[in-house]
A and B are shown apart, each in its own frame.
Chain A
Amino acid sequence: MAIINQITPLGIIFIFLLLLAVSYAVIRYRQMDIRVVGRHIYLYTLIAIFIYFTFYLVAGLYLRFLGGIFTPASYLVGVFIAPIFVFLLNRFYRLVQYLANRYFFASLYSIQESINRLARELNYFSDIGRITDLTMGTIRQTFQLDRIGLIIFAEFEDKVNYRVKSYGFKNDLAAGTLVQNPALLDLLRRYRRMIVTAEFATKQLPVNFESDEVAARDLVLYLKGQAASAAIPLNSGQKLVGLILLGVKSSTDPFTKEELNQLETLAGPVGIAIDNALLYDRLNDFNRLLSARVDEQTVELRAKTVHLQKLLEMRSEFLDVASHQLRTPVSVILGTISMFREGSMSKLTTEQQSHFIESIYHKAKKLELIIRDILSASEMDTDKFTLTPDKLKSVPVAEVITEVLAGLRDKAASKDIELVFKPPTGQGPKVATSANYLEQALFNLVDNALNYTSAGQVDVCLAEDDGRVIIKVKDTGIGIPATDQSKVFDKFARGKNAVNLYTDGSGLGLFITKKIIEAHPDGRISFTSEDGRGSTFIINLPAA
């Protein structure tokens, strides 16, 4: 019993020291929450009681059964008792802690739990909205805050962009002023601790922050301006990714040291989660951009393929028709000559024979024209065919018309069609053109008019009006039915009513004419036509 008496004063001293320490803590940290102190007193007192109780129990047993505490047998048993004690102490500590958390200090416990849960949950989200909502919601509810705000800083190519989310604060949190204050941002980036508005101004900053006094003052001014009681910088590595602004607790109590620690601890995972989410967003944006590009290209490629396919189809159709148009005169030439070779023709009169010779001569001429047309058409059948200024010369149109008509007089006469053109007095209007091309275009129009006219006249008019030269080729032929008018300038197009009149041309005349006229700068071609009454084709070129 003497030993017990010896120990008890020591215990009293410890209890005294404990009280002293608690008092110091309360005085030193004015934010000390009395509940936290109470919880600690409760925990440590119970553990002390447990140790005392065990000690007395073991000591009693030693005295009764082993003859004393300091006997060799006691030491030996002590070897076994020590681990059992440690085990039991650990168990007891947990039990006491559990009871404390569960029944006596539930709100304290729930703070810790919530913060831990938040830190865990942050790992599961990559969506910036979810992360900020979760963080702000948890902090606000756990600490019963009237306001909470979060600013996210996204540094991108030397520029700091920001996003703001707030509950209870003014909407934009004046984040713009923060972003424009690099010294302040730098201070936040390095400080990495919780900033309590009421204390920060008087806080002894570490030495390297002395130069940041202005920034520190700005920060306090800013926080006061926002009526924020505290702020938590959020960092990821060396990067400042955000700032949480805290309002006031509903109890109006200040934050305790414990709470500040918890919030500071939380800042790490929240900062990293936000940084990751920002990166993830950037990656997503990039992916979206990439896939949009891919889609765009795919559409373009598909359109090109379709276009190419169409071109190929047109090409093969062109070849089919072109080869037919070429074979038609060839078959007559070959057929006629074969009859001469076989001797059939010798049974005919000389007059009849020369008729056939005349026929092959004309077919050969026609063949030559068809070849020329097919070559012209394939030359012009690209979007690139234009008459560049270097190919253009000022040409008197009347001369070209006269020349074209001269070449077609015989044909007109043979069909008994009157070919009318009243040349202007003097040289008449001029256009900037390539004489050969204009001649080809006009030839096609007049030739066409003759082909589709069986009686009457083909009239060519030349006029100048308001800086434009207008050439009209008017016939009294079969005209073009309304249903076929849209296809007049297509390759190998021929009106449904063009029965028996002219099927051995190239079928390319109007196509070529249109291409030639439209290859001129601001050149236009149009027509009017009435089924059964005739057609008028109008070339309209700028005067030169």
Chain B
Amino acid sequence: MKHVAKKVLLIEDDQDQIQLYQTQFMLNGTMDLLSADNGRTGLTMAQNNQVDLILLDLLMDDMGGQEVLRRLKDDSATKDIPVIILTNLYKDEVKKECLALGAATYWLKTEVMPGLVLERTRKFLYPEEEAGDEADNQKAGFRLI
């Protein structure tokens, strides 16, 4: 079954990582991965591109991920876009803070590999596909945390 391609926005300041995720999404592609290499650009892109999901890094120089998340949730145009935190910062307080700010979930880059990021993102955006897909059901362990 063919889908309408959904748009995922990656807000991440490390070029190497952007390239990595872009390759992953491009090679297995039902979704478009847009990227912004800083928080401000990310916010503008989220407002202008009708994105379906945002993958958000936390430690960025100009504007931290928490601030980006707060602004996304404050803006009526972006507040309904699900935001997944994708970071190397593992700190319970930060995780709680992000979830309280409205993040859908919190992934650690060293635990959730690019392949898994893609798979989970797809299941998040196309939940109806899962019911009919036996192979995917076996990987139910990869459901959103």
Q: Does A384 contact B (CB under 8 A)?
A: no
Interface residues on A, range: 20 to 34
Contact B23–A344 (Cβ < 8 Å):
yes
Question: Interface code A180-212, partner B: CB below 8 Å = 1, 0 otherwise?
Answer: 000000000000000000000000000000000
> If A324-B89, A503-B60 touch, does A334 touch B115 (CB 8 Å cutoff)?
no
Hey, which chain A residues are within 8 Å of B17, CB to CB? Answer: 331-332, 335
A320-B89, A331-B110, A332-B16 are contacts. A339–B61 as well, Cβ < 8 Å? no
Q: 9 A-B Cβ contacts within 8 A?
A: A320-B89, A327-B110, A328-B109, A331-B17, A331-B109, A332-B20, A335-B113, A335-B114, A496-B61
Return the contact of A328 from the options B61, B88, B91 (Cβ within 8 A).
B88
Tell me the smallest distance from the CB of A499 to a CB of chain B, in Å: 5
Decide if B114 touches A339 in the complex (CB within 8 Å): yes
Are B88 and A324 touching (Cβ within 8 A)?
Answer: yes
Partner pick for A323 among B20, B90, B114, CB 8 A cutoff:
B90
Q: A496 CA to B38 CA in the complex, in Å? A: 13
The residue from B16, B27, B60, B110 contacting A334, defined by CB atoms under 8 A apart: B110
**Chain B residue contacts of A359, Cβ below 8 A:** 16, 19-20
Cβ distance A315 to chain B, nearest Cβ, rounded Å: 14
Task: Report how far A503 CA is from B18 CA in the complex, Å.
Answer: 14
> Shortest beta-carbon distance, B94 to chain A, in Å?
9
Is A347 on the interface with B (CB-CB < 8 A)? Answer: yes
Q: Find residues 508-522 in chain A having any chain B CB closer than 8 Å to their own CB.
A: none
Q: Does B52 contact A (CB under 8 A)?
A: no
A335 and B109: CB pair below 8 A?
yes
Q: Which residues of chain A (307-360) have a CB below 8 Å from chain B? A: 320, 323-324, 327-328, 330-332, 334-336, 338-339, 342, 344-345, 347-348, 352, 356, 359
The smallest beta-carbon distance between A311 and chain B, in angstroms, is: 19
Say if the beta carbon of B125 comes within 8 Å of chain A: no
Q: In this complex, what residue of A is CB-closest to B91? A: A320
Contacts of B62 in A (CB 8 A): 499-500
Q: Which of B39-98 contact A (CB under 8 A)?
A: 59-62, 88-91
Report the Cα distance A323→B87, complex, angstroms. Answer: 12
- A338, B114: Cβ atoms closer than 8 Å: yes
Interchain CB contact (< 8 A) of B20 among A324, A339, A494, A496: A339
Given A323-B90, A327-B109, A332-B17, also A338-B115 (CB < 8 A): yes
Q: Given the complex of chains A and B, what is the CA–CA distance between A342 and B114 in angstroms?
A: 10
Q: CA–CA, A112 to B38, complex, Å?
A: 101
Known interface pairs A320-B89, A347-B27, A499-B38; 19 further A-B residue pairs with C-beta atoms within 8 A, sorted by A's residue number:
A324-B89, A324-B90, A328-B88, A328-B109, A330-B110, A332-B16, A332-B17, A332-B20, A334-B113, A335-B20, A338-B113, A344-B24, A344-B27, A356-B23, A363-B16, A500-B37, A500-B38, A503-B14, A503-B60
Q: B88 touching A500 by the CB < 8 A rule?
A: no
A294 within 8 A of B: no
Nearest-neighbour CB distance to chain A for B25, whole angstroms, equals 10
B28 within 8 A of A: yes
B59 touches which of A330, A347, A498, A503 (Cβ 8 Å): A503
- Shortest CB distance B42–A (Å): 12
Contact A342 B115 (CB under 8 A): yes
Residues B88 and A499 in contact, CB atoms below 8 Å apart: no
Main secondary structure of the interface of B (DSSP, over half): loop
Name the one of B13, B16, B23, B109 contacting A500, with C-beta atoms under 8 angstroms: B13
Nearest residue, chain A, Cβ from B28: A344
Contact A331 B88 (CB under 8 A): yes
Q: How far is the CB of A260 from chain B (nearest CB, A)?
A: 88
Chain B contacts for A494, CB-based, 8 A:
61
Q: Is A504 an interface residue (CB 8 A)?
A: yes
Q: CA of A324 to CA of B14 in the docked complex: distance in angstroms?
A: 13
Q: Which chain B residues border A342 with CB–CB below 8 Å?
A: 115
Complex interface: chain B residues within 8 A of A338 (CB)? 113-115
Task: Chain A residues near B91: list those with CB within 8 A.
Answer: 320
- Chain A residues in 8 Å Cβ range of B28: 344
Name A502's closest neighbour in chain B (CB-CB): B61
Compute how far the CA of A236 lies from the CA of B13 in the bound complex, rounded to whole angstroms. Answer: 89
Q: Mark B1-38, 1 if CB is under 8 A from A, else 0.
A: 00000000000011011011001100110000000011
Interchain CB contact under 8 A, A503 and B61: yes
Q: 1/0 per residue B104-135: CB within 8 Å of A?
A: 00001110011100000000000000000000
A402 to B: closest C-beta gap in Å: 31
Closest 7 CB pairs of A and B: A331-B109, A327-B88, A338-B113, A499-B62, A331-B110, A335-B114, A499-B61
Chain A residue with the shortest CB-CB distance to B19: A359
Complex contacts, A335 vs chain B, CB 8 Å: 17, 20, 109, 113-114
| Smallest Cβ-Cβ distance to B109: which chain A residue | A331
Q: How far is the CA of A491 from the CA of B7 in the complex (A)?
A: 39
Minimal beta-carbon separation of A237 from chain B (angstroms): 72
How many angstroms between the C-alpha atoms of A330 and B17 in the bound complex?
11
Interface contact B59-A324, CB-CB below 8 Å: yes
Chain A positions within 8 Å of B60 at CB level: 503
Which partner residue on chain B sits nearest A327 by CB separation? B88
A339 CA to B62 CA, complexed, in Å: 30
